[in-house]
Structure 1
């Protein structure tokens, strides 16, 4: 792999009939591929693909060894693959034979390795320690924000970055007679970042306030799913306790939430405060009770401290967003190797984003440990795509303009690269949204491809760290779980250092193998799990939280 990526092009799989440009290749460039001389008839931008042989209309196009499209018009040898000459196509799938043999990576270097985490009564271990404040219905969002304004600053959990100083500078320039041109060209002085740790509660990483627009007025199915999602957060190993505000008359009843909590943790013992406004009466009484009881809860959970835990207690969410043509050959395979390492050590990984598994269903279903698990995966994929098509937008519509611009022309091309995050280990479980991980190994979780909705769901399923690959750059984070951003290319890593944590562009440049980068990443993950490194999304307070309404979201 290292030898190949030092070149200006790459054939990902021996069965592929297109090559990937690793740098911009001008028209007329002569490509020497396996003794065959290919003259480029188009300019081919880095990350994009070009043909090994001429294609006729209807000819199949393969990448990663799988069908990813068909030619919609003739394409000459050395021609660039574009949205004008290729259309989405993917192989069908059916129940096949079990293919669960895999090559376990060598993990002897991590024998006995631990991280420092927060041990919970249910046996899970947190990589952080948060208190949650959540509304059961959107009617309580205002009260949640009132509590946020009252608690954060006074308890030392203020936002880490404020731009108020910059606004003061702009106001001063206007008041001193500066012109619009002078204001636009001004070099604003950045405000120093404030600390986020609380001296009053040093063992608590923060209080997180999760507002949303659900709980009533939609379908009962969506409100029930919301209760399941919130139960996943309340029982999450990174959460010490929670305050819940309910109006009282909404679909998302407190009793439903409590039932969902019991499904996930029958011996639930965390502090849980549920306050109903229609029972308490005045808003001030609701807020006074919320303040007093939350403060008492914080006193209690501040007694918790980090203790050594086995690496097998890590549950890693695998995510990608703002993907590019390098995602499937650098960052995603690095995650795949790390996933295999963690599974080999008894840990759990979550591969989600079902619209981005289109075209690799056969491989994944064959890797399921039994036929029942395979059938559940196939049914979820079929049902989800059928619902999308009924609403006028199947999985084929998943790639975004940014994906297409950077080489992911069809959903199958995007999916074949995205699936690399899951490595090669057997699929031990298939989960429907918003189910929770209960088995070690590779778990498939039905979510949209939408970054925030999928990350929100992975955390509800139990991910205590999320690894997020991106080729274009995205600031997605999560309120309770550290989200580590990995760039697929070094240019992005250098361009957006405020949101990117880890560079996988070294694989493209031939500086590291996938295995070497994965080992470096695993060591980084352990430092994050210890609390020694705070990823950029945590530093920025990037607390993205969007529940999935079980309609179509790709």
Structure 2
């Protein structure tokens, strides 16, 4: 029989409802029976005893809230009776935590088929980039996309134009508003055609439009150039076409400096065009088309070859989280993280606003005091910048998070941090620095999932594991984003965007470790070219972080 509730950590003093519990439901727990005094929705928290104002709430073994109104045993924890609270931390009290690596013997000889680059890194895909240095070039980027994508066989999106045509026909036939609203249009859909690529070894051409490059402050331009350089030098990228206006803050020389920082012996084809030097739009677009086509011919010469799993760099991300994320999807991904670290690979844990409350654990896991101090410095600076504009990490949970059981930022963070497993923190990076060390890397990014995913890939992630409890279609232009559901209901409701279901852990069908092994097996297939849902849909989200406050 499936349990009604669960306690995540032995030190926790609240329970998680695993199913909807109506008022008056008897809940057997720890030798006694708790009777619910209110409806406890699945994913939400149940009080196993009476709580009074000022009492502390513990989940995942850490402080996640403080009681502000009395809660009876069997009562529901809500935003009205609980407020955000976390323990303080001290980077100077760094006590290196011991780590027992998981047994990865059966994975030691596994390989994936990747694209080997001259700098020793191995990509999981092979893309060509077309990038504007400034938002003024976004229109020209769109013109190039219209000229290249369809004829080269890279169109991926389903067309809904036949549905519009069917609606026009119905109106012209005199159908009423009510009849049109009741019409089933599925038969009028056009599914996308399978890939018929002129360049079969090039996975696609990606067009990274953005709103930066000029205005703001010079540091914004420098940071943008660092991010773009991270994409151009990325092992999933074969080469790039860059469009510059000429007068913007993000100068070509700035981009080239950032490329040299990341790849001193950079040898990929790179074409840079400056509109104010070339002249007319027609001249610029024509030259860009010739150069891009020639670059694609070069990129098509690269083939997938076997590579050890130590060459993987995995980004860890969550979005649309729910009250099950921290007990199914995130710890399962955490097990993947630990396995990959044990195999010599790299992983990236980001979203600093969603590490609020678990800082001391990460300090203690840092390999040395310098690493611990840098993490503490970046966390405190980020938190102070949020407070300075009247916000704070406590304002991070979204309405969807709260609706599905994550009622304080500390509660959300304690579950989100489980994506990072338990391995040592080998490095702390500030956005948009490059990962250079195998092991668990912390990267300072917002909690906003697209900004954070964009950043992780810019820092070198070749695959992103993205957990979700509510569902999101998010993808990335150059790295496959594996969408992992925290609950079976979501996986069944949105199968077109979900790649892996870990609701099996909640359902009692497998352990966290078994789910993690299943995810890693899927990652190996994806790294070898199997398409994830976001790639099939052409979902390629790209949002640079302008270093203001974003939670």
Q: CA RMSD in A?
A: 1.0
Match of 2:191 among 168, 190, 193: 193
Task: Give, in whole Å, the separation in 2 of the partners of 1:218 and 1:170.
Answer: 46
Is residue 2:2 matched to residue 1:10?
no
Match of 1:76 among 72, 76, 96: 72
Paired position in structure 2 for 1:207: 205
Task: Give, in whole Å, the separation in 2 of the partners of 1:316 and 1:190.
Answer: 40
Match of 1:125 among 122, 139, 159: 122
How far has the Cα of 1:190 moved from its partner? Answer: 4.9
Q: Is the 8 A contact 2:94 2:363 kept in 1?
A: no
Paired position in structure 2 for 1:345: 343
How far has the Cα of 1:157 moved from its partner? Answer: 1.1
Paired position in structure 1 for 2:364: 366
How far has the Cα of 1:199 moved from its partner? Answer: 3.2
Is residue 2:277 matched to residue 1:279?
yes
**Correspondences of 1:26-425 after superposition (within 5 Å):** 26-95=22-91, 96-188=93-185, 189-195=187-193, 197-425=195-423
Match of 2:453 among 431, 452, 455: 455
Match of 1:514 among 498, 508, 512: 512
Q: String of CA shifts for 1:154-195, please: whole Å, max 9, x gaps.
A: 111113311112111112212222221111111112534324
Q: Is the 8 A contact 1:330 1:507 kept in 2?
A: yes
How far has the Cα of 1:144 moved from its partner? Answer: 0.3
Q: Is the 8 A contact 2:97 2:365 kept in 1?
A: yes
Q: Is the 8 A contact 2:485 2:502 kept in 1?
A: yes
How far has the Cα of 1:313 moved from its partner? Answer: 0.7
Q: SS of the residue aligned with 2:527?
A: helix
Q: String of CA shifts for 1:12-60, please: whole Å, max 9, x gaps.
A: 1111110000001111222222123322211111100011221111111
How far has the Cα of 1:100 moved from its partner? Answer: 3.6
Q: Is the 8 A contact 1:173 1:183 kept in 2?
A: yes
Paired position in structure 2 for 1:493: 491
Q: SS of the residue aligned with 1:20?
A: strand
| TM-score, structure 2 as length reference | 0.98
Q: Is the 8 A contact 1:197 1:205 kept in 2?
A: no
Q: String of CA shifts for 1:50-97, please: whole Å, max 9, x gaps.
A: 112211111110001100000011111121100110000000110223
Number of residues of Structure 1 aligned to a counterpart in Structure 2: 549
Task: Give, in whole Å, the separation in 2 of the partners of 1:317 and 1:174.
Answer: 49
Task: Give, in whole Å, the separation in 1 of the partners of 2:193 and 2:528.
Answer: 19
How far has the Cα of 1:198 moved from its partner? Answer: 4.3
- After TM superposition, the structure 1 stretch with the greater mean CA deviation from structure 2, 394-403 or 160-169, is 160-169
TM-aligned CA distance change 1:390 to 1:196, over 3 Å: farther
Which consecutive unaligned segments of at least 5 residues does structure 1 have? none
Q: SS of the residue aligned with 2:391?
A: coil
How far has the Cα of 1:102 moved from its partner? Answer: 1.1
- After TM superposition, the structure 1 stretch with the greater mean CA deviation from structure 2, 40-49 or 169-178, is 169-178
**Correspondences of 1:471-486 after superposition (within 5 Å):** 471-486=469-484
Q: Is the 8 A contact 2:48 2:74 kept in 1?
A: yes
| TM-score, structure 1 as length reference | 0.98
Q: Is the 8 A contact 2:473 2:534 kept in 1?
A: yes
Q: Is the 8 A contact 2:324 2:486 kept in 1?
A: yes
Runs in 1 of length 4+ with deviation above 6 angstroms? Answer: none
Q: String of CA shifts for 1:314-360, please: whole Å, max 9, x gaps.
A: 11111100000000000000000010000000001110000000000
Q: SS of the residue aligned with 2:151?
A: coil
TM-aligned CA distance change 1:196 to 1:296, over 3 Å: farther
How far has the Cα of 1:148 moved from its partner? Answer: 0.3
How far has the Cα of 1:196 moved from its partner? Answer: 5.5
Q: Is the 8 A contact 1:98 1:370 kept in 2?
A: no
Task: Give, in whole Å, the separation in 2 of the partners of 1:349 and 1:83.
Answer: 34
How far has the Cα of 1:250 moved from its partner? Answer: 0.3
Task: Give, in whole Å, the separation in 1 of the partners of 2:171 and 2:261.
Answer: 59
Task: Give, in whole Å, the separation in 2 of the partners of 1:164 and 1:276.
Answer: 36
Which consecutive unaligned segments of at least 5 residues does structure 2 have? none
